[in-house]
Structures are given as structure tokens and as C-alpha cells.
A and B are shown apart, each in its own frame.
Chain A
């Protein structure tokens, strides 16, 4: 995708300008769409990988250490370096950004889901066993529902940090709103463009976070009832 810029006679280079937003609404919307879709896909894929991994770490305790250690090392690798490792193999497409984002989101989700699963009270687990629940039935009827708060925390953290991280995708030309920030920097510090994109980034993170809180309320009605 390419981002067009249109300038008006504006000697002030203001921090924010509706003129800019109006004139470039198509470009801005396209960037927001790319940003949101990259975030959504990355978090979704990360959840699909992280849940089985966490269950493995929960069922087979010796695996927990290595799983957390490996994802911890990946998490320590700076984003720019991670993209640099992936890009020569996958090229400069959106896939490169997506793979990097998934790797980062993994650790946040796995760590929180494992913590959530470990918080399931042993009495509850034993009671379920006594009632004749098998391993799988216990997982879906007891363990995972009770671990939902941990799962939600992990997904929320992963989502917010992924929104911020997408901007680094500028490196391979798929940075969503980061594309606008960088273009603004290169266009003699076009403040309105940088600010608009940065504010939209933060707004996107807040909106997605609120959405996840809402979803969490809906799937765990008991937690709000108890809070009251």
C-alpha cells in the first residue's frame, strides 16, 4: 500500500490539524485498518498457539520450565532484531511482521495462562476427580473456566503491546499507523501527521482493551456478581 500526502499552505506546522485529517482520510483509514487487522490476526494466532502450550506446561510440569524459558528468551530479543532475523527468509511482506508479533504475544499469554491454571484450587481439582471427571472434561469444565481471569489478563497485555509493536513493522513497509509516523518524520517533521497517527495508535489500544474487558465480563458473569 502507498500513502499519499497532500499539503496545504500552512506555515505553522501545527500539532494537530483537521485539514490534514480531512484531506488524508483515505490514507489514515487504510493505515488504521492495516494496524487493526495485523493486531487482531497476531493476537488470535498467538492465543491459538499459547493455549495448547500452556495446557502442556500445566499437565506436564517438567515442560513448564523450558516453555517459559524459551518464550522468555524470544521476548528479550529486541523487536528490530527479530524482524531482521525473519525478513531475509519471509521477504518484506506483512507475513514477516505477523510472525514477529505472534512470537512476542506468545510469552505474555503463556505466562498468564499458566499462572491462571496454577491458581485453580487443589480442592476443586480433587473434587472434580472424585466426581469421575477425566483429564479432558476437567480441563474444559473446571480448569479453563477457572483460569479465565489469567487468560483475559494475558490477552489484554498482549493486545495492548502488539498495537504499540506493529509500528516497528515500518522496517519492512507494513507498520500500519507507524507508516504514517515515519512518513511524517521524513516529511520535514510534519507534526500533524505524526500526532494523528500516534493518537490513533493509543486510541486503538484503549478501544481494543475496553472491548476485551467487555468480553471478559460477558464470559465470566460470576466475577462481577461477586465483586458487588
Chain B
């Protein structure tokens, strides 16, 4: 069992070397890769999950399906999905399989929150809208969708943070991203690469926490004031929340 001598000191030295930032495959490159993969995955997840969740919520059906999807993805190991998808696509090791795999993990929180967001709309508001002569589609677009926005934002935050966390694992399938820095450190060995390992960990964790804080702020901004208090973490329903670990 090897242990690094002074990992934190080494990490500070490693981060302070400008070459580690600007080299090909340095921190800036990896950060760009990480953000690109994550953004594409979250966008793909939204494209699939939001329409489906809003529609199911509008119909008031399929709650069981939503829970089932959330729980099923909880049990699937991230690593398995990341390694299986390149095989399915047979396109080798490009970004596409990684993006799709990450999008799969973004779907449960997005779907669950979109569904809950529409379901929680006051039935009286819905009745009033119907009484005013709104059609089913108008009801969804003009009443239910705006009222569901805080929930959509909460789902977006959970999904984005989770995808950023999971994207670190893309390095296992040569998908790049900040996780690659950690992997390279382990490749060098803990005694020599301990600083790089810790530095990579700081970057990955920092990015995830930053996303959590920023998107938490966005969530607060789009939530109307009267709804902010008294909502006890409703933005994170259990099943979606539980998938938070990558």
C-alpha cells in the first residue's frame, strides 16, 4: 500500500504550474471537454424528459411509470452504461455514446419534476381555465407550464449537477473530461501523482458544487416569491434525489 507524502502540498504545486493549465490535455482543455459533454447530455435529457413529463402530468397518468424509471436507473451502475453504449452505437469511442449515457442519468430527475410540477397545479386554477374556454393544449401551455417552472428549474439543477458529477467517469471510457486528470494521476502512481490526483478531485468537486450553487440561485429566481417559503425541498422528490450519486 503506497501513500503519498504530502498530497495537498503537491496538489498546490501542480495547480500552480502554468503548463498544467495550457498544455494539450491540460486543465483548460479538460474543463472544456467536461462542460461540452455535460451541456449536450443535459440538453438531450431535457429534450426527451420535459415533453414526456409535462404531457404525462397533463394527462394525470403514468405516475407509476415515472417512479419505475427513476428507481430502475438508480440500480444501474454508471460504469456499466458508459461501457455498454459505445458497443450499441458501434461508432467507436466518440463523444456520442458518452453523451447519451449521461443523458440517461439526467432523465429521471427531469422527468419526475416535470410530472410533479404539472400535477401540483391547483385543480381550481385548472377548472377556472377550462371554464374560460381554454382548450387542453392551451391549458397546458398557458396555465400548467408557467406554474410548473419552479419544478422544472429544480429538476434541471439536480440533473445538471448529477451529469457534471457523472461526466468525471467518462475518463474510464476515454471520453475525456476532468476525470482524466485524476486517472492520469493514478496512472503515474500515488506516490508521484498524489498531487495531481487531489488537484483533479478539487476541480471536479469544485465544478459540481459551483453548478449546485449557481443553478440553486437560478431556481430561486424563477420561483415566485410567495412560493419560496414553506416549500420544503419539494424541488427534490425522493426518487430523483436518490439518483444523485454518480
Q: Which A residues fall within an 8 A CB radius of B?
A: 73, 75-85, 87-93, 104, 108, 157, 160-161, 163-168, 170-172, 175, 177-178, 181-182, 184-185, 189, 191, 194-195, 197-198, 201-202, 205-206
Contacts and interface: CB of A to CB of B under 8 A. Distances in A.
A221 B104 CA distance: 38
B219 to A, nearest CB: 15
B186 A185 contact: no
Contact of B83 (A82, A108, A157, A182): A182
Contact of B161 (A76, A91, A108): A76
B190 interface: yes
Contacts, number: 151
Given A160-B74, A194-B84, A91 B190 contact: yes
Contacts of A75: 244-245
Interface of B: 1-4, 7, 74-80, 83-84, 86-87, 161, 164-166, 168-169, 171-173, 179, 182-183, 185-186, 190, 194, 197-198, 200-202, 204-205, 208-209, 212, 238, 242-246
Nearest to B90: A189
Contacts of B246: 78-80, 168
Contacts of B75: 160, 163-164, 201-202, 205-206
B161 A80 contact: no
Contacts of A189: 83, 86-87
Contact of B78 (A76, A167, A177): A167
A56 B86 CA distance: 47
Given A77-B209, A78-B204, A79-B165, A198 B84 contact: yes
B79 A182 contact: yes
A198 B164 contact: no
Nearest to A165: B245
A164 B79 CA distance: 9
24 contacts: A76-B209, A79-B169, A79-B245, A80-B168, A80-B204, A87-B186, A88-B7, A88-B194, A88-B197, A91-B3, A108-B242, A157-B74, A157-B238, A161-B245, A164-B74, A168-B169, A168-B246, A171-B182, A171-B183, A182-B79, A185-B83, A194-B87, A197-B80, A202-B76
Contacts of A201: 75-77, 80
Contacts of B168: 78-81
A-B pairs, top 7 by smallest CB distance, nearest first, are A84-B201, A78-B165, A198-B80, A91-B1, A88-B7, A88-B194, A88-B4
Contact of A84 (B76, B83, B197): B197
B209 A73 contact: yes
A113 B185 CA distance: 38
